[in-house]
Amino acid sequence: MKKPLILVTNDDGINAPGIRLLVKIMNNIGDVVVVAPDGPRSGMSSAITIESTIRCNKIIIDNGPQEEYSCSGTTVDCVKLATNVILKRKPDLCVSGINHGSNSSINVIYSGTMAGSIEGALEGIPSIGFSILDTSLNADMTEIIQYVESITLKVLKHSIDKGLCLNVNFPKKKKDIEVKGVKVCRQANANWIEEFDERIDPNGKKYYWLTGKFVNYDSGKDTDEWALANHYVSIVPVQFDLTNYNSLIDLKKIF
């Protein structure tokens, strides 16, 4: 049987431990091509590079069988470059991550990791974004390897919908608590309450660091936040038709 062609990207940069592990796992499943940013692009959402130029160079990072390209652009630039310039055929799967930090709930909006998989889905490639609720570069990911593998294999086996995009989040590893399994969920209604950290530079001028507190308004047991808080892996299918169909009829009466 022909091996699937798997495009791997992320937003923490091509050298981040999360993507290195993801590459290793994917090498057991298919032929892997990595196109990822040359450094961190967290919180870049679906940003694309249109005001400046993009560099993309083939590089070797380890002894694995994968082909790798390091790109000066955003995660979405990487996916566009991969599918339009680098790859000779459309990949069978696009995976993004493993992100060092949560992309559950509203985080999906700001996430470069998820933007990478949304872009893959947009181009008709079944896509998965993987994230772990641990921002440490030394996050313990041993337990989640089996889940990354099994979710990937299931998508490859079952994917009929070419526009499929999954947002997969893993709970942070806690001592003596095992991951209980997988839950297919909806995105929780949660948000960030920003708290800008105001500081004064050496020249006496103000500047800010963006920071904030995550607030979950949603107690639904069918949400990703519930699943994660209860030690499940959350899987949310993500769409890129942003039309709010529920409000169409009411708005037609007004306009």
Instruction: Considering only residues 25 through 84, tell me which ones interact with a copy of itself, judged by CB under 8 A.
Output: 40, 42-51, 53-56, 73, 76-77, 80-81, 83-84
For every residue of 85-138, DSSP letters joined together read II-SS--SEEEEEEEES---TTHHHH-HHHHHHHHHHHTT--EEEEEES---TT
Among 16, 165, 227, 228, binds a copy of itself (CB under 8 A): 165
Q: 1: number of CA atoms within 13 Å, CB side?
A: 6
What's the rounded Cα separation, in Å, for the pair 187 and 251?
25
What's the rounded Cα separation, in Å, for the pair 228 and 179?
9
Q: Which is nearer to a copy of itself, 23 or 108 (CB)?
A: 108
Smallest gap from residue 157 Cβ to a copy of itself (A): 8
Cis peptide before 19 (omega within 30 of 0): no
Q: Which is nearer to a copy of itself, 27 or 72 (CB)?
A: 72
Q: Which is nearer to a copy of itself, 23 or 76 (CB)?
A: 76
Among 118, 125, 139, 141, binds a copy of itself (CB under 8 A): 118
Residue 131 to residues 22, 114, 185, 210: CA-CA distances in angstroms? 11, 9, 15, 21
Among 29, 108, 227, 228, binds a copy of itself (CB under 8 A): 108
The DSSP letter of residue 84 is I
- Contacts to a copy of itself from residues 172-191, by CB under 8 A: 182, 184, 186-187, 189, 191
Smallest gap from residue 63 Cβ to a copy of itself (A): 26
Smallest gap from residue 122 Cβ to a copy of itself (A): 6
194 binds a copy of itself (CB under 8 A): yes
Smallest gap from residue 64 Cβ to a copy of itself (A): 25
